[in-house]
Structure 1
Amino acid sequence: MKVSCITRHAISNYGSLLQAYATQRAVESLGHEFEIMDYVPACEDVSQQVRTLLSTKPSWNGNPLKKSVYRLLMEPETRVAGKRFARERSQLLKMSPHYASLEELKANPPKADVYMTGSDQVWGPISSGTYDLSYALEFAPEGARRISYAASFGKKNIPDSVRPRFLEDLRAYEAVFVREDAAREQLASWGIEAGQVVDPTLLLDGEAWRRMAA
């Protein structure tokens, strides 16, 4: 089967990159074709990351001089890291065409036999502090097979303003597997049965990671 996976693969840190890589390797080891949806919401694009971070820091954002200093300090490092991680992603991950919004995904979703969410904090707030229903597979065609692996909320509670649509999307999943006790318990309280699994980085043995690092 072809599995198309949406995850937080484009954050400029090793955790995001390596969990995506490990998920790819694990699914391919089962004999399936796999791709990461190259979905990067606009607020998490490297060109907008400093602005997004600044919007969540009132102590810096309330003063024009402080805003300028923050951007002067953070912008160069953020852009350099973004370019380096983008290069690593292009080498390690098999990715779909780029998407920047839920609307783009709905208009032209990737073609797949199975749509997958996970792992990482895919069901928590993104960098802008909002919840993105793309990670609940709201764009998947009607009747499509949906699963999650090692999905995490990051926080226990989903705001009331988002919860009804979010739960409607999750109830369409064929199988739900999460990372933490808290996530499994929270889903159970909403009437959604979930299994608990390890982070995908633990599915690869030491030799696999040594070959990658060589």
Structure 2
Amino acid sequence: MSSTLFRTSPALRGALRASGAPKVAGAMAGIGFVRGKATLPDLPYDYGALEPHISGKIMELHHSKHHQTYVNGLNSAVQTIKEAESKGDFTKAATVAPLLNFHGGGHINHTLFWENLAPASREGGGDPSGALQKAIVADFGSVDSFRKQMDAALAGIQGSGWAWLVKDKTAGNLNIVTRANQDPVSGPYVPLLGIDAWEHAYYLQYQNRKAEYFEAIWNVINWKTVESRFEKP
């Protein structure tokens, strides 16, 4: 869907590129689309399955309300841009492009986030294994050191945003990066593991004690999913 949109005309591509929106296009590939529209993905676990680490009420609101809002906003932005393009109104397309980046990024980030998680009684928690574990040790010193560095990156986010474990496609090493608001990971990086630092991800349960949320979420990280992303060429 989005790749077709960005191919349609040089003028539209230029308008969107100026606003920073095209970075969403590549990241959208294969992420929750049906017949050209973004859709809310189903969770592979119940809302309450991550308790006590993440409450069922948080999961319900986060998934069914917040993520759905990003899906709706993305579909609306795409439709508005397509209509503007058909009329040759590239100024309007450019003004809507930031919404495409925000809502498109929100859809991408949250879709990956749900896959990052699993109940502690199943695949959640513990330590990574295999090639991913070796890479983490090589680049961060130890798995425990990596967790501490990730928590520090999360704590350092001013306002809303995400921290990500990423693989550099060129160098092949691992890094930790942060992104403001809903900006998706793009450029030379492949997102492996993302943690949501928006207040809506934790406030109902942890209130202003976000460091407790950052500590608790490690109990429900699905390392098998992270490993599968790492091992993809």
More helix by share: 2
TM-score when normalising by structure 1: 0.24
TM-score when normalising by structure 2: 0.23
